[in-house]
Amino acid sequence: MKPYSLLARLLCYSSGLLLLALLSPLAFAAIIDVTPADKLQTILDTAKDGDELILAKGIYRGNFVVPRSISIKGNGEAIIDANGKGHGLLLTNSHITVDGLTIQNWGQDLTAQDSGIYSDKQASHIVLSNNHLQGSGFGIWLQKGQHIKVLGNTVIGNEALRSSDRGNGIQLSIVQNVLVKGNDVSGTRDGIYIISSQHNVIENNKMHNLRYGVHYMYSHSNKVMNNRAYATRAGYALMSSRLLTVTGNQSDNSEDYGFLLNFITSSTISHNRITNVWTKPENKVLGRDGKGLFVYNSAYNTLSHNLVQTAEIGIHLTAGSENTKVYANSFINNPLQVKYVANREEEWSLDGLGNYWSNYLGWDLNNDARGDTPFEPNDGIDKLVWQYPEAKILLDSPAILMLRWVQDQFPVLKPAGVKDSFPLMQPLVSASIEAQPLTTFATEQASLLATATGDPL
């Protein structure tokens, strides 16, 4: 083949590619300025794939459908008002971006799944960013989609309604590869609700004044990282799921649970902070106590490097929650550190590394940063009180004190329960949590662990 013939072919090939690029729909994409005086739905219907709509300041009333692969931007001043019914925006295509809009006053029919932004058409590559949504139904509902980003949005519910009558802030249903990051959700039922979904990341979100901050159901292979939940009934409610990685999160001022694990398997719960889990006096009933970690019917999980501070019960395991690795946690200032309802012995240490218990009274005579005697938080009297709560009035009686003494002198009489053979003499996390960024939490724990064990970082 002659050199000039090869060059000619390459030039023809390159020219063909350039022509195809110029003829593609995106090559003719337009920037369209829209005002409240325009008919927004007509513009949405006639837009071409790749177009960018810039909505001017003002109120756009109605329930709008987005059928094209376009971008809609509002610069924080354009308001979509749904007139109290239906969806604010219904997305029926892929490759849609919605940025900087205020969406308000959509419907509150939860059966109809009324939402500020709604997508259920197996759409992909949707970006929802920097939007402000306020309404009674669901904030953002995404179903059957994948490769979606939900970034920096604010979702505010209607606290005048009962919690059960509100929608969730951000709902992910049957989705994959979704990133939910940097959002602020308050006043809805649950902050972020994930059901039947895989390979998603929930990161750096703030959730408050809710029932549950993050709520998982029937999902696997998800990550929950560096989020903060406060003023909730439960910061993180993880149910009927597996292969979850939950790390670097914070739960403050929850009423019932910091972390609730119900039928969770093969998951890692680590480097989280749980503080101030206390049931309000007006809501107190027998058996309702604030629990830092509540583990129900869950097995083959790892709970490590967590801080549980000032909860009525530090950690409560029950209903077959066995074969769980519990080590390197710090339990501080919890009136009842452990409630373990089972009939087999559980060792809560790993490779010589136990947990820190603020009420441990043992010595460390060999200066290895571990107690010389095991920590066994519960005895037969505790189990008797759990079974018959009315017996609490007898706890300081001479008879009960004698029974505890007998158990100490004759360990064979002590029932099976939790045993930490290597209790730590210092917490692996700082007892003060004020104004400490979550991103420094893992670094702090690694440093303290190295100090406690004598191992270099």
Give the chain's radius of gyration (CA, Å).
28
Q: What is the pLDDT of residue 430?
A: 58
Distance, in Å, from the CA atom of 453 to the CA atom of 446, rounded to the nearest integer, reads 11
Q: What is the pLDDT of residue 290?
A: 95
Give the range among 140-154, 294-308, 330-344, 367-381 with minimum mean pLDDT. Answer: 367-381
Mean pLDDT of 359-378: 90
Distance, in Å, from the CA atom of 352 to the CA atom of 451, rounded to the nearest integer, reads 15
User: Phi/psi at 428 (nearest 5 deg)?
Assistant: -85, 0
What does the pLDDT look like over 222-259, one tens digit per residue? 999 999 999 999 999 999 999 999 999 999 999 999 99
Distance, in Å, from the CA atom of 169 to the CA atom of 108, rounded to the nearest integer, reads 13
Percentages (nearest 5) of helix, strand, coil residues in the chain:
20, 40, 40
Q: What is the pLDDT of residue 436?
A: 43
Query: From its phi and psi, is residue 310 left (phi > 0), alpha (psi between -120 and 50) or beta?
Result: left
Q: What is the pLDDT of residue 345?
A: 82
What does the pLDDT look like over 101-123, one tens digit per residue? 999 999 999 999 999 999 998 99
Distance, in Å, from the CA atom of 55 to the CA atom of 75, rounded to the nearest integer, reads 8
Distance, in Å, from the CA atom of 32 to the CA atom of 51, rounded to the nearest integer, reads 7
Distance, in Å, from the CA atom of 176 to the CA atom of 144, rounded to the nearest integer, reads 8
The model's confidence at residue 21, banded by pLDDT at 50, 70 and 90, is very low
Q: What is the pLDDT of residue 433?
A: 43
Q: What does each C-alpha distance from 318 to 187, 257, 299, 315, 338 come to in angstroms?
A: 31, 14, 10, 10, 11
Distance, in Å, from the CA atom of 253 to the CA atom of 241, rounded to the nearest integer, reads 25
The model's confidence at residue 320, banded by pLDDT at 50, 70 and 90, is confident
**Mean pLDDT computed over every residue of the chain:** 86
Give the range among 45-49, 61-65, 387-391, 416-420 with minimum mean pLDDT. Answer: 387-391
What does the pLDDT look like over 420-435, one tens digit per residue? 999 999 998 755 444 3
Burial class (CB in 10 A: 0-12, 13-18, 19+), 234: buried
Contact 261, 297 (CB under 8 A): no
What does the pLDDT look like over 184-220, one tens digit per residue? 999 999 999 999 999 999 999 999 999 999 999 999 9
Flag whether pLDDT at 289 surpasses 60. yes
Contact 211, 189 (CB under 8 A): yes
Find the Cα–Cα–Cα–Cα dihedral 295, 296, 300, 301, rounded to 10°: -30
* The residue to which tokens 């597996």 are assigned: 242
Distance, in Å, from the CA atom of 143 to the CA atom of 145, rounded to the nearest integer, reads 6
- With H, G, I as helix, E, B as strand and everything else as coil, classify residue 413: helix
Distance, in Å, from the CA atom of 44 to the CA atom of 304, rounded to the nearest integer, reads 51
Q: Which residue has the higher pLDDT, 448 or 416?
A: 416
Any idea how long the chain is? Answer: 457
The model's confidence at residue 282, banded by pLDDT at 50, 70 and 90, is confident
Q: What is the pLDDT of residue 319?
A: 76
Find the Cα–Cα–Cα–Cα dihedral 317, 321, 327, 331, rounded to 10°: -10
The model's confidence at residue 448, banded by pLDDT at 50, 70 and 90, is very low
Contact 116, 155 (CB under 8 A): yes
Q: Angle at Cα 409 formed by Cα 408 and Cα 415, nearest 5°? A: 50
Query: What is this structure's pTM?
Result: 0.84
Q: What is the pLDDT of residue 376?
A: 85
Burial class (CB in 10 A: 0-12, 13-18, 19+), 184: middle
For 286-315, the DSSP string reads TT---EEEEEES-BS-EEES-EEEEESEEE
Distance, in Å, from the CA atom of 183 to the CA atom of 364, rounded to the nearest integer, reads 46
Token reading at 209? 């004044």
Flag whether pLDDT at 170 surpasses 80. yes
Mean pLDDT of 329-350: 89
Distance, in Å, from the CA atom of 102 to the CA atom of 77, rounded to the nearest integer, reads 7
Percent of the chain at pLDDT > 70 equals 79
Burial class (CB in 10 A: 0-12, 13-18, 19+), 140: buried
